[in-house]
Copies of this chain bind each other. A is one copy, B any other.
Amino acid sequence: MRMGVLGSGMTAQAISARLAELGHDVVIGTRDADKLRGWQSSNQRVLIGTLAETAAHGEMVFNATDGAGSLNALSMAGEENLADKILVDVSNPLDFADGFPPSLTVFGKDSLAEQIQRAFPMTRVVKTLNTVTARVMTHPLEVADGDHHVFISANDVEAKSQVVDLLRSFGWTNIFDLGDLSTARGAEAYALLWVRLYGAMNTGMFNIKIMR
């Protein structure tokens, strides 16, 4: 499948490499391609594009840009290039204006996922993977043999189903359907607990499991 991954950081790199490994045709998109040249030298199956080229390339597009800059980056990617496509939003709206630990730029009665959906009404936004670090997103079996949960939120049931299939191809077996896209408010707010768990354990190689 043709995949576009927007972003140039650790998350965008991890997702791009994993998608390429799984046989997808991947373009990673950024405002500054030079940031990715070194990484690409060992990931030559992934091509580098502009944000717009990357969105145009993808049948499915990932938002792996910094959450605080996502709306701007997606605007540069272009509404027409994202129309009718699934946008897998894995970002967190982290606000580092006052340093670490971060707050969030949007919270409570709204979420970044919903902001994106409102800004791109023709795009089918699916929120997932934002509750774990990049390596766990793409290699869930490396934490407790995969015995933990990833969440998914979307208004479009068919889009959600396609992303569930993709998550399974990454190795996810416990996929918790939170409901419609407004439930992303919960998954995004969890980022503030995640940073505290990270602080206490000094590693991002963890996740939570829902116990009943």
Q: Using a CB-CB cutoff of 8 Å, which residues 189-212 of chain A contact chain B?
A: 189-197, 199-201, 203, 205-212
Q: Could you say how many copies of this chain the assembly holds?
A: 2
* Contact, CB under 8 Å: B211 / A147: yes
Contact status of A195 and B199, CB under 8 A, knowing A147-B211, A208-B211 = no
Number of chain A residues close to chain B: CB under 8 A: 42
Does the CB pair B210–A208 fall under 8 Å? yes
Binding site for B on A (CB under 8 A): 95, 98, 101, 103-104, 107-109, 143-144, 147-148, 176-179, 182-183, 185-187, 189-197, 199-201, 203, 205-212
A101-B182, A143-B211, A148-B211 known; 8 other A-B pairs, CB under 8 Å?
A143-B212, A183-B196, A183-B199, A186-B192, A186-B193, A189-B192, A190-B190, A197-B210
